[in-house]
Amino acid sequence: MKKYLVAVVLLSMTVVAVPASANYECSGTVTYLGHDGGGTVTVAGPGGLPAIYLCTLGVSANGWTADACKSAYATLLAAKVSGQVANIFFNDNLTCTTQPAWNGSTLGKVYHVSTQ
């Protein structure tokens, strides 16, 4: 019985140590939108989001096809120009405001972009 209890305790500790991922949405106005010479799209604003790298134009990488990245950029540009609310959906263990700014670690964390 003791061996079984020890095994359960050890497994429980292992499960607790694994960081959880969650889906969440950052919504609001786009305060910054741009891309660099390599085509990396950067966006800031919705939900207090700092400037994050979203995807790369012309390259299929990090879960985004080149066409999907162009579409996401167009969606965000339309939201910025019109003042519409933009929604950026993440799947990670951070929040809108704790995303690392100007950092490649955000690539592949966004899975959907939309407007309201």
Tens of pLDDT, residues 64-111: 999 999 999 999 999 999 999 999 999 999 999 999 999 999 999 999
- The percentage of residues in the chain with a pLDDT greater than 70, rounded to a whole number, is 83
**CATH code for 21-115?**
2.40.50
Q: Domain extents for the chain?
A: 21-115
Q: Higher confidence at residue 13 or residue 52? A: 52
Contact 51, 43 (CB under 8 A): yes
What is the average pLDDT score of the chain? 88
91 Cβ neighbours under 8 A, 6+ residues apart: 21, 22, 23, 109, 111
Nearest by Cα to 76 from 89, 65, 85, 66: 85
This prediction has a pTM of 0.81
